[in-house]
Structure 1
Amino acid sequence: MSGSDNQQGGSSERFGLYGWSMVVVAAVLMCATLPGRTHGLGLITKRLIEDVEISKMDFAQINLWATLIGALFCLPCGWLIDRYGLRRVAVCVVMGLGVAVLMLAASRSMLQISFWVTLTRGFGQSMLSVVSITLIGKSVSNSLPIAMGVYSVLLSCMMAAATGLLGNQIVNFGWREAWGTQGLILLVVAIPCTLMIRRRSGARDDSPKATDKQQRTDATLAQAIRTPCFWIFACSISFFGLISSGLSLFNQFVIAERGFGESIYHHTLVIGLLAGLVANLATGAAARFISLRILLTIALLGLAVSLGVFPWVDQLWQVYTYAVGMGLAGGMLTVLFFTVWKHAYGRSHLGAIQGAAQMVTVFASAIGPLLVSASETVTGSYASVFLAASAISAASAVVASFISVPDASRGDWDPATIKSPTSETPDLCPANP
């Protein structure tokens, strides 16, 4: 695939004011998933456990199963988006998340907490995430990589601000009051944002003629999951989520094992965030001219190097260099995950395809802390985690360098362009020139 293949030049839709407004709306919607994410729930975990008088182990089990069950919400969400349109689904999902957050704030028993945490995971981390990233894919055409880069930067800034504000609310007013406020904000603020979404952004029946043409030239979910491209992007980027979630949860212990204090840990968070923002914008710009396959390979190699050298870090500048490397790799992988699905498979079934990919990432993030903790328990050190993860990242980079990425705008999924006379579906991964 040449650099120019990354551009969706064949579409007549222009990326104007509406497209930019949808980038902002999508970032707001993704930020609204905070109550359903690990670092959001982490803000209230200690107070919730003490208030309801349940053990840490019980809550850990609740969170694990809530995350795994919540991941299953991704698939029906994608199908509903493709069938009924983004606006309808977005309104329902935001309302569901708002109610779940309000009910969790009022929960008094372990059973109630289990139920409502599961729904916050399902509606927030899973469904609303799918809505957010699908919104850009269905609203933006020829500037998708740049839009995803800007979206990633906006999201990082919004998440940082929202986390800080929520943390202050919890400290000053208590977790129930703060959580209840989050539920009201979702219902009062986020829903009006969803009403800005045009019906044409995702609804199949808005333009039957255009839809029929897209149906012929875009991949279905069944076709997408038959391609190596889908699995290498979904699994390699999900692996970053796995190792990132595991290391983030135990990051203070990881840094301490190398002989550094808590203040250094906080410094690495800031440095990693800034490096990620730079990578978001750079990757969004580069994806217009450089193959997504090459960018994925570079990101995975950078991740492999960063992870592989950490067990030998013993100086402050090395810790900061590690944080920069992880931030750059994570920033690149984030934009690639948001960009590849529409580029490779088109927009007709984008909700279902991104839903399937999002489900893989949620599963990976859920088991990451367990694998990291188990590895440290068995070996007595976090070094084994870094070395194993580095090897897997390097191997994934090698595989990524050989895959072929389809280009939906070029008609790779149009049966008329498929050379096999005995098949009505594309080859496992259409070749790129």
Structure 2
Amino acid sequence: MTYFTFLRDNARWLSASYLLTTFSGFGQTFFISLSAGDLRAEFGLSHGDLGLLYMVATLGSALTLPYVGKSLDHYPVQKIAMAVMAGFALFCLALAHAFAVWMVAFAFYGLRLCGQGMMTHTSVTAAGRWFSAQRGRAVSISMLGFPTAEALFPLCFVILSGTIGWRGAWTVSSLVLILVAMPVLFVLLAKDRIPSTAEVAAAKAEGRQWTRSEVLRDPRFWLVSCGVNAPAFIGTAVLFHQVYLVELRGWSLEVFASAFLLMASGVVIASLIIGPLIDRFSARQLLPYTLLPLCFACFVLANVDAQIAAFVFLGLVGIGNGFNGTLVGAFWPEVYGTRHMGAIRAVAFSIMVFASAAGPGLVGWLIDIGVSFDAQVTAMGIYCLVFAAVLALAARAYRSDQHS
């Protein structure tokens, strides 16, 4: 099947998965952090205070996700998506009308649970279940929603907040979810996709269908999770403190913001390349390479002061995110099967949310106590390098398990 034929025959479900990831952007760090300056000023918070608040709220969402995420194993995707988007819109309104710090924390919790958590979880889980032989391509197309949001949402937010204020911009975000996202996705998800007999026959044998409890007892799961969630920790930490980074380097915030387009382009290119490669070689074989772009990105950011470093860093982060997001989306069902994937991926997403929660809080605290930002980023690069080797060993263990 050619790429064009695949897109044409499955436009309905691919569009739904893509849009779910796109609209998850309202709950992603790159979008929420645009209000960081206003929130600090209005509620008298330091970098560390706001980072800690964000970390606690995100950790709360991570603890909730395994319980609500397994609902995808029991209810239609359409019902889950509608419920999540309705809640998502309400949390956008909660932030728009926050009058106390506890309300900001409550809104952060909901935005992270619904946006970063359930919207993304629903999209990738559905894509992995709908498609078997073409799972890599399907997940790669789903991942294109992230660069779309990264390229469009921040610019729209800046324009809106400049005219109607940051609270007004969050109100508009809520209305977009209710008036645009929900009606379109309600129609697209009205029919579930069932893989054909030919597709199932053409797909690589899934073998054993692991339960969630079995996966949690598998040490390889935890080793891989520590590696593949490094982008969530590092990307969230750096982007949440992007204003501090720009001030530290003496860069232009406007120029730094323009580099997000390069990051979005990197995600698109990497996603479109890695999807077919996964279908050809398997996610297991490609696993060891997923952290290398982020490793180089960290070393560049830590050692180059010129503003060109922002473009190199975000470009490599985009490539790494496109590679990692698509690969991980295909990896879990490949090694653990699809029967209990809603419950399994809910735990995997929860760990990812934990990682993204720890980043802003830890880095903000280290900034407050005077730890060099360059030293922190260098440590992040070393971590990626070490875990690239760990993932190579894990990939070999999974291949041995498959052939045993």
Among candidates 18, 43, 46, match of residue 54 of structure 1? 43
* 1:331 and 2:302 are equivalent in the alignment: no
- Counterpart CA distance in 2 for 1:257 and 1:49 is 18
Q: 2:84 aligns with which of 81, 93, 101?
A: 93
Partner of 2:198: none
State the Cα distance separating 1:356 from its structure 2 match.
0.7
Counterpart position of 2:26: 35
Alignment partner of 2:394: what SS?
coil
Cα shift readout 1:89-141 (whole Å, capped 9, x = no counterpart)? 11111111122323433343444443333223222222222112112112222
TM-score (ref. length: structure 2): 0.83
The residue number in structure 1 matching 2:386 is 395
Task: Give yes or no for contact 2:23–2:177 (8 Å, CA) kept in 1.
Answer: yes
Structure 1 CA distance, aligned partners of 2:163 and 2:122?
33
User: What residue is the counterpart of 1:25 in the other structure?
Assistant: 16
In the alignment, what sits opposite 1:284? Answer: 275
So what's the TM-score if we normalise by structure 1? Answer: 0.78
| Secondary structure of the structure 2 residue equivalent to 1:43 | helix
Find the partner of 2:260 among 247, 262, 269: 269
Matched, 1:143 2:107: no
| SS in structure 1 of the partner of residue 281 of structure 2 | coil
Is the contact between residue 258 and residue 313 of structure 1 (CA under 8 Å) also seen in structure 2? no
For 2:374, the aligned partner's letter is A
Match of 2:73 in 1: 82
| Preserved contact between residue 85 and residue 199 of structure 1 (Cα < 8 Å) | no
From 177, 189, 194, the counterpart of 2:186 = 194
Q: Which residue of 2 aligns with 1:4?
A: none
Alignment-derived partner of residue 341 in structure 1 = 332
Name whichever of 193-202 and 83-92 sits farther off.
Answer: 193-202
Mapped pair 1:383 → 2:374: yes
Match of 1:165 in 2: 156
In angstroms, what is the RMSD of aligned CA positions?
A: 3.3
Work out which of the residue numbers 230, 239, 247 in structure 2 matches 1:239.
Answer: 230
1:237-292, Cα deviation, whole Å (9 max, x unpaired): 21121111112233455466667555653454333332232111111122122342
How many aligned positions are there?
388
Matched, 1:67 2:38: no
Residues 181, 405 of structure 1: alpha-carbon distance in 2 compared, 3 angstrom cutoff? farther
String of CA shifts for 1:308-358, please: whole Å, max 9, x gaps.
Answer: 354433567666544443332232112112221222222221111111111
For residue 59 of structure 1, report the CA deviation from its aligned partner.
4.7
Partner of 2:201: none
| CA distances 1:33-86 after superposition (whole Å, capped 9, x unpaired) | 233232322233444555xx4222465444332211112232122211101232
Report the Cα distance in structure 2 between the residues aligned to 1:22 and 1:196, rounded to whole angstroms.
7
Question: What percent identity do the matched residue pairs reach?
Answer: 23
SS in 2 for 1:289: helix
Equivalent of residue 119 in structure 1, options 74, 91, 110? 110
Matched-pair contact (CA < 8 Å) for 1:69–1:118: yes
Partners of 1:67 and 1:122 within 8 A in 2: yes
Q: Counterpart in 1 of 2:401?
A: 430
Contact 1:297 1:401 in 2 (8 A): yes
C-alpha offsets along residues 139-178 of structure 1, whole Å, 9 cap, x if unaligned? 2221111122222234312442233223322222223333
Bigger Cα Rg: 1
Read off the aligned partner of 1:162 and give its amino acid letter. Answer: F
